[in-house]
Amino acid sequence: MKLILTRHGETVDNVKGILQGHNPGELTEKGIEQAKKLALKLKEEKIDVIYSSDLKRAADTAKEILKLQPNTPIFFVKELREGNCGGFTGKKESEIDWGKKPNDAESMGNMQQRINSFLTSIYEKYKDKTVLFVGHNGINKSLVTVIDHLPANDLPKIIHMAQASISIFDIEDEKKYKTQLLNSIDHLE
C-alpha cells in the first residue's frame, strides 16, 4: 500500500498560537492557498481512497484535494483527529505549562494506539492501493512513531509536520514500512 500523508493548511488559530485539539479550526486565506497547491501537487497521483479527519480544518483541506480527484471516494473519520488537548484546548501555546498536562488530555500512548489500529484496518482493505490521509501535526507525528517502530513517548522527537506537507510511505505488510518522502513542502514555494 502506498500511503500519502498530509496535514491541513494554516488556520486562524495557528496564526494566533492557539492549541486547537478537537476544535474545528478555520483555514486562513493562506491555508486555503496551501490546500489548493497541495491538491495541484497530488493531481497526477492515482489516489484510490481519501480518509480525512472530520475536524473542519482537515476536512476543508481534503475537499480542495477532492476537487482535482473528483472520482475518489472520501471518508471523514474521527480516527485521524488531532490529539484531544483537554483543558489546554483553546489556550495560547505560549501560556501553557507543559509540565502539568490536564487529566482530560489524550495520552501519546492512546494516540499511537488509535492511529496504529486505524492504519492496520486500512491496510487490510487497501493492500495494493494508494491511500491519502489528511490529518494534523500530532496525529501525523504519532503515525510516524508507528511506522518507525518507536515508543509513543518519542512523539515530541518527531519533526514538526508543516502545514499542507506531504509524506509518502510504502507499506509491504503491517510491520514493514519504507519512507519515500517526509514532510515535503516544495509544492508550496
64 has catalytic annotation: no
Helix (H, G, I), strand (E, B) or coil at 81: coil
CB 161 within 8 A of CB 140: yes
Query: Would you write out the chain's pLDDT as a tens digit for each of its 189 residues?
Result: 999 999 999 999 999 999 999 999 999 999 999 999 999 999 999 999 999 999 999 999 999 999 999 999 999 999 999 999 999 999 999 999 988 989 999 999 999 999 999 999 999 999 999 999 999 999 999 999 999 999 999 999 999 999 999 999 999 876 788 999 999 999 998
> Catalytic residue among 10, 64, 82, 106, which?
82
Query: Residue 133 and residue 120: Cα distance in Å, rounded?
Result: 13
Closest CA to 141 of 155, 152, 125, 127: 155
| Joined grid coordinates for residue 59 | 476536512
Alpha-carbon dihedral sign for residues 48, 6, 133, 119: positive
Q: Where are the alpha helices (DSSP H) in the chain?
A: 12-16, 29-42, 56-67, 108-125, 137-147
8 has catalytic annotation: yes
Please give, one letter per residue, the 3-state secondary structure of 29-72: HHHHHHHHHHHHHHCCCCCCEEEEECCHHHHHHHHHHHHCCCCC
| Joined grid coordinates for residue 81 | 483527529
CATH number of 2-188: 3.40.50.1240
pTM, to two decimals = 0.96
